[in-house]
Structure 1
Amino acid sequence: MDGRNFYITTPIYYVNDIPHIGHAYTTIACDVMSRYKRMKGYDVHFLTGTDEHGQKIQTAAEAKGMTPQELVDKIHVNFKELWKVLDIGNDDFIRTTEPRHVRVVQAMFKKLMDQGDIYKGTYEGQYCVPCETYVPESSAGEGNTCPDCGRPLTLMQEESYFFRASKYVPQLIAHYEKHLNGVMPRVRYNEIMSFLRGEVRDQSVSRTTLKWGIPIPGDEKHVIYVWFDALINYATASGYLDDPAMFRKYWPSVRHVVGKDIIRFHCVVWPLMLLALGLEPPVSVVAHGWWTVDGEKMSKSKGNVVDPFKMVELYGADAFRYFLLREVPFGHDGDFSEAALVGRINSDLANDLGNLLNRTLQMIVSYRDGVVPAAGLDDPLDRELRALAETTLGRVDEAMERFAFDDALKAIWALIGRANKYIDETMPWKLAKEGPSERLDSVLSSLYEALRLSALLVAPYMPGTSRRIWDQLGLEGTPLERVYDDFAWGEGSGAVVRKAEVLFPRIDLEAWKKVRAGELPKAGKAEAASPGEMEHEPEIGIEAFRAVEMRVAQIVKVEEIPKSRKLYKLEVDLGYEKRTVCSGIKAFFKPEELEGRRVVLVTNLKPAKLCGIESNGMILAASVKVDGNSEALTLVVPAGEIPLGSRVS
Structure 2
Amino acid sequence: MTQKNYYITTPIYYVNDKPHIGHAYTTLACDVLARFKRLDGCNVMFLTGTDEHGQKVEKSAEVAGIDPQAFCDRVSQSFRDLAATMNISNDDFIRTTEPRHVTAVQALWQKLAATGNIYLGKYAGWYAVRDEAFYQEDELQDGPNGQKLAPSGAPVEWVEEPSYFFRLSAWEQPLLKFYEENPGFILPASRRNEVISFVKGGLKDLSVSRTTFKWGIPVPGDEAHVMYVWLDALANYITAAGYPDTASEKYRHFWPADLHMVGKDILRFHAVYWPAFLMAAELAAPKRIFAHGWWTNEGQKISKSLGNVIDPVGLVDEYGLDQTRYFLMREVPFGNDGDFRRSAIIGRINSELANGFGNLAQRTLSFCAKNTGAAVPQPGELSEADEALLAHADSLHPRMGESLDVQAIHTALQHWFDLVDAANKYIDVEAPWTLRKTDPARMLTVLWCLLEAIRQLAILAQPFMPASAAKMLDQLGVSEAARSFAHLGEAGRLRAGTPLPAPQGVFPRHVEAAAQEG
Q: Give your verdict on TM over 0.5.
A: yes
Higher RCO (CA-CA < 8 Å; seq separation 6+): 2
SS in 2 for 1:103: helix
Q: What is residue 327 of structure 2 aligned with on the other side?
A: 323
Query: Is 1:237 the equivalent of 2:235?
Result: no
CA distance in 2, matches of 1:161, 1:493: 71
Residue-pair matches, total: 513
CA distance in 2, matches of 1:60, 1:378: 67
Query: Is 1:385 the equivalent of 2:389?
Result: yes
What is the CA-CA distance between 1:486 and the residue it aligns to?
Answer: 6.8
SS in 1 for 2:491: coil
SS in 1 for 2:355: helix
Query: Is 1:269 the equivalent of 2:269?
Result: no
1:258-315 deviation per Cα after TM superposition (whole angstroms, max 9, x unaligned) = 0000000000000000001111211000000010000001112221110011111111
Gaps in structure 2 of 5+ consecutive residues: none
Q: What is residue 399 of structure 2 aligned with on the other side?
A: 395
For residues 223-622 of structure 1, the aligned pairs below 5 Å read 223-242=226-245, 244-435=248-439, 437-477=440-480, 481-483=484-486, 488=491, 490-509=493-512, 511=513, 514=515
Query: Is 1:150 the equivalent of 2:156?
Result: no
CA distance in 1, matches of 2:256, 2:83: 27
Sequence identity (%) = 47
Paired letter, 1:66: I
Q: What is residue 590 of structure 1 aligned with on the other side?
A: none
64 and 147 in structure 1: CA distance in 2 versus 1, 3 angstrom threshold: closer
Contact 2:7 2:46 in 1 (8 A): yes
CA distance in 2, matches of 1:480, 1:232: 36
What is the CA-CA distance between 1:149 and the residue it aligns to?
Answer: 3.2
44 and 60 in structure 1: CA distance in 2 versus 1, 3 angstrom threshold: same
Compare 447-456 and 144-153 and name the one that shifted more: 144-153
223 and 479 in structure 1: CA distance in 2 versus 1, 3 angstrom threshold: farther
**What is the TM-score of this pair, normalised by structure 2?**
0.96
Contact 1:126 1:136 in 2 (8 A): yes
Query: Is 1:9 the equivalent of 2:47?
Result: no
Contact 2:3 2:43 in 1 (8 A): no
Q: What is residue 48 of structure 1 aligned with on the other side?
A: 48
Paired letter, 1:508: V
1:170-202 deviation per Cα after TM superposition (whole angstroms, max 9, x unaligned) = 112111101111000000000111111111111
145 and 295 in structure 1: CA distance in 2 versus 1, 3 angstrom threshold: farther
Q: List structure 1 segments (4+ residues) > 6 angstroms apart after TM superposition.
A: none
SS in 2 for 1:322: helix
Contact 1:160 1:204 in 2 (8 A): yes
Q: What is residue 139 of structure 2 aligned with on the other side?
A: 139
Paired letter, 1:326: R
What is the CA-CA distance between 1:156 and the residue it aligns to?
Answer: 1.4
CA distance in 2, matches of 1:41, 1:484: 11
What is the CA-CA distance between 1:390 and the residue it aligns to?
Answer: 2.0
Higher Rg: 1
What is the CA-CA distance between 1:129 and the residue it aligns to?
Answer: 1.8
Q: What is residue 27 of structure 1 aligned with on the other side?
A: 27
Contact 1:135 1:146 in 2 (8 A): no
197 and 356 in structure 1: CA distance in 2 versus 1, 3 angstrom threshold: same
Q: What is residue 178 of structure 2 aligned with on the other side?
A: 175
Which structure shows the higher helix fraction? Answer: 2
Compare 263-272 and 418-427 and name the one that shifted more: 418-427
Contact 1:96 1:230 in 2 (8 A): yes
Contact 1:10 1:30 in 2 (8 A): yes
Q: What is residue 104 of structure 2 aligned with on the other side?
A: 104
CA distance in 2, matches of 1:400, 1:101: 31
Paired letter, 2:88: I
Q: What is residue 129 of structure 1 aligned with on the other side?
A: 129
CA distance in 2, matches of 1:120, 1:164: 11
Which structure shows the higher strand fraction? Answer: 1
Contact 1:61 1:68 in 2 (8 A): yes
SS in 2 for 1:29: helix
CA distance in 2, matches of 1:62, 1:334: 35
Contact 1:460 1:480 in 2 (8 A): no
CA distance in 2, matches of 1:404, 1:221: 46
33 and 145 in structure 1: CA distance in 2 versus 1, 3 angstrom threshold: farther
SS in 2 for 1:488: helix
CA distance in 1, matches of 2:225, 2:356: 59
What is the CA-CA distance between 1:483 and the residue it aligns to?
Answer: 3.2
CA distance in 2, matches of 1:178, 1:484: 37
Compare 471-480 and 120-129 and name the one that shifted more: 471-480
Paired letter, 1:216: V
CA distance in 1, matches of 2:192, 2:298: 29
